[in-house]
Amino acid sequence: NHIEDGKRHLNFSDFTSRRIAIQNHKLEEVIDEVKEHEMPLASYTWIHRDAVLTDAQRELLISWAEGIMDNLKATYPPDSLVMPKRGPRPPGRD
């Protein structure tokens, strides 16, 4: 179900228990998804018409996420905000 799938990607219930780099990255994703009109999902808004966001609501969400990111930047060292680069995948794990 799309709700469970969404929670695997972003769950605010455990958000603050995640590493700072993950929090920062997820906020970046929120901003991108909202700007690209990919959040909320079209499959969700077909059923829940009241979940369709206005431009003002989109701007409010973007400002909120940017504000949290600014707070993280003011509180934590820059290197703690960056996701570590992943190495190459082992053979056969494509």
Peptide linkage before 40 cis (omega within 30 of 0): yes
- pLDDT for 94 equals 54
User: Which of 18-27, 55-64, 67-76, 84-93 is predicted with the least confidence, judged by mean pLDDT?
Assistant: 84-93
Nearest to 31 by CA among 56, 57, 52, 58: 58
Does the pLDDT value for residue 87 go beyond 80?
no
The whole-number average pLDDT for the span 38-56 is: 89
- pLDDT for 22 equals 95
Whole-number mean pLDDT of the chain?
Answer: 90
The whole-number average pLDDT for the span 12-34 is: 95
Nearest to 10 by CA among 23, 1, 19: 23
Does the pLDDT value for residue 88 go beyond 80?
no
Say if residues 63 and 30 touch (Cβ distance below 8 Å): no
What is the enclosing helix (H) or strand (E) of 21? Answer: helix 20-35
Domain chopping of the chain, boundaries? 19-81
What DSSP line would sit under 61-82, residue for residue?
A: HHHHHHHHHHHHHHHS-GGGGS
Say if residues 73 and 12 touch (Cβ distance below 8 Å): no
